[in-house]
A and B are shown apart, each in its own frame.
Chain A
Amino acid sequence: MGLQGTKRPVSSASIRKPRALSHFGRYPLKITKDQVEYVAHLARLEFSEQEKERFTTQLNDILLYVEKLNEVDTTGVEPETHAIALQNAFRDDIVRESLPHGLSLANAPSESGNCFRVPKILE
């Protein structure tokens, strides 16, 4: 096909099937078990040793997959935080109705006096 000898456009280069194992040689493992434990603590999650090992492997696989993006030539491209080129999406300062009475707490696991009830946190 006509792709031979031509430069690939950036958009089609960005998503390709990972070339799997060949990358392990080029990129060292990035996530350690310590980091998994640290992030789990920040997220208030508790895991068994087995789970920690599994998540370490899985997170590394994900990172490897995302590493593919480094192959794209981004010379002259400004870093963006959004996929769409949109700025200044504003609303006017107008009050709209809030949720009807009672609906705000419809999903509350526990409530009291129209408040969400949570375990006390002491400082």
Chain B
Amino acid sequence: MDHPTIFSQLTELFRDVFVDSALVLTPDATADDIPGWDSMTHITLVAAAEYRFGLKFRIVEIEELTNVGDFVSLIERKTCDARDQIK
């Protein structure tokens, strides 16, 4: 899956979780920029992303996801890894 696709799907996912259909994500947006993004909603975001993209995050990866860009790159890397393994 390519970067823009992940980004747009993630935006949709954020909009669902934060119940804000007008939410616009930028790559360097952090928890400070998005009201309601705390350690609790973070877990919901992670679980929702796992479900949507069909992958599993590791515990140590979760705490490092501090901004939207990290989120996108991690998903990108993990979907690539999964594809490589299939090959």
Are these two chains actual partners, yes or no? no
Residues of B near any A CB (own CB < 8 A): none
Partner-B contacts on A (CB < 8 A): none
